[in-house]
Amino acid sequence: MADEYTCAICKGIFEKSTPEDEALAELKEFFGDVSPDDCDIVCDDCWEKIRPDKHGIVLPVSEHSLKN
């Protein structure tokens, strides 16, 4: 991984501070078995604004949960 990234929301440039294995574990926790290649990176401030668990959304969203 590169040492810097551009936030997909605010477009700011940040230094990566979370080890890759921790970031991948968080990805799996919130979104299930999603490939990191299919995801964008967001900064901590933007993540706090969109965190599913802070907005009453239970993820990962399954096709079944969308039908209910």
pLDDT per position as a tens digit, 20-47: 999 999 899 888 888 999 999 999 999 9
User: Residue 68 pLDDT more than 50?
Assistant: no
pLDDT more than 70, % of the chain: 79
More confident residue, 9 or 2: 9
Q: Which residues contact 35 (CB under 8 A, 6 or more apart)?
A: none
pLDDT at 37: 93
- Comparing CA positions, the residue from 45, 8, 7, 51 lying closest to residue 29 is 51
Q: Domain limits at 20?
A: 4-67
pLDDT at 66: 45
The count of structural domains within the chain is 1
pTM of the model: 0.70
